[in-house]
Amino acid sequence: MKKFLIILCFFASAAVAAAAQDKFPMITIPEEVTEPMARARYLSDHFWENVDFATASDALIEDGLSELMPILRILDYDAMTASWAGAVKQAEGAKGGVAHLLSVCSRVLNDPAKSSYDENLYRSLLQTALVSKKISKDEKEPFQRDLVTLEVNNVGSAATDFEIVTADGGKVKLSEVESPVTVLFFYDAGTVDSKLERYRLSQARLTNYLMRAGGLKVVAVACTSDSALWEKNKGDIPAEWTSGYDASGEIKGESLYDLRVMPRLYLLDDKKQVLLKNTNTDGIESYLYDILRAAAEQQQGAAAQDAAANGAAATDGAAAAK
């Protein structure tokens, strides 16, 4: 009977410990840390210190991530990396802890279908965690593949060139499309989601304004090598767009672009460098609006300076005439 009670108490204490870990154990920020950014940095640096990765559930880690992500997004890259380093160090204290952390973060941060999707946060974590000695080669492998995928066509890098077959049977390379701004529209021919996004893009105000002014071109790419499927659906694409299909299957087959979720849009500059990746019509419109507004403000500022200079010159001339 005594032995039974001891065993019962053991399992009860384990259950209590597990229940306690169901709620994320937040740290306490010292009262003397009062400046908002300093508090954010302290929280990010020490965020994981109360977490026992030996007993932490997936839900607990996800709960922590939901609290941490808004903080990391307002901090610089060094602070972000330092926070992940703290998480990895804490996870290293438990067998399989680093792989567990990466697995949960992958689901939260690396699923393009989720609103929590964040390439920058996930890339920073991978770069920090994959050098840990507490994760095996086999455990690392899927996350190393993730990192390779994330490094493709990053903002600021040159977009990978590719070739499509157009409606008239000709071939066009991305590098041959000359335009100050290029929108890449990758889509699945015939699917509802792609049809809806194609409609949104065709009706986008700023995109169409720049296209009519000769400042933008849209390249629509059906990500299929099935010529019959392409022929059946090619009429969906506006005639003023450059459109075609991936006859070789290279774009998806060779993972030239991250197209895990379709449709996807990219925005490129005149040198075919990536301005936006894995976005949608709203993202394109918002970016173009910001660029046009900044240009207008710059022009207004220059005009005001010219007017002030001309006024000063006129005043000086009048004074000299007296």
**Model's pTM, two decimal places?**
0.76
Closest to 234 (Cα-Cα) out of 164, 167, 188, 163: 167
What's the mean pLDDT in 160-188?
96
Residue for token pair 């007993």: 55
Residue 297 pLDDT = 83
* Residue 133 pLDDT exceeds 90: yes
The radius of gyration computed from the CA coordinates of the chain, to the nearest angstrom, equals: 27
Using a 10 angstrom Cβ sphere, with 0-12 exposed, 13-18 middle and 19 or more buried, the burial of residue 221 is: buried
* Residue 310 pLDDT exceeds 60: yes
Cα 307 to Cα 12, 230, 293, 303, 318, distances in angstroms: 80, 56, 21, 6, 16
Q: What is the pLDDT of residues 245-265, one digit of tens each?
A: 999 999 999 989 999 889 999
Q: What is the pLDDT of residues 73-115, one digit of tens each?
A: 999 999 999 999 999 999 999 999 999 999 999 999 999 888 9
Distance of alpha carbon 77 from alpha carbon 299, whole angstroms: 33
Percentage of the chain modeled with pLDDT above 70: 86
Please report the beta strands in the chain, taking only residues with DSSP state E, as ranges in sequence order: 163-166, 171-173, 181-187, 216-222, 242-245, 264-268, 274-279
Question: What are the strands of the beta sheet with 181-187, ordered from one edge?
Answer: 171-173, 163-166, 242-245, 216-222, 181-187, 264-268, 274-279
List Cβ neighbours of 153 (8 Å cut-off, separation of 6 or more).
159, 160, 257, 258, 266, 274, 277
Q: What is the pLDDT of residues 52-70, one digit of tens each?
A: 999 999 999 999 999 999 9
Closest to 122 (Cα-Cα) out of 101, 136, 138: 101
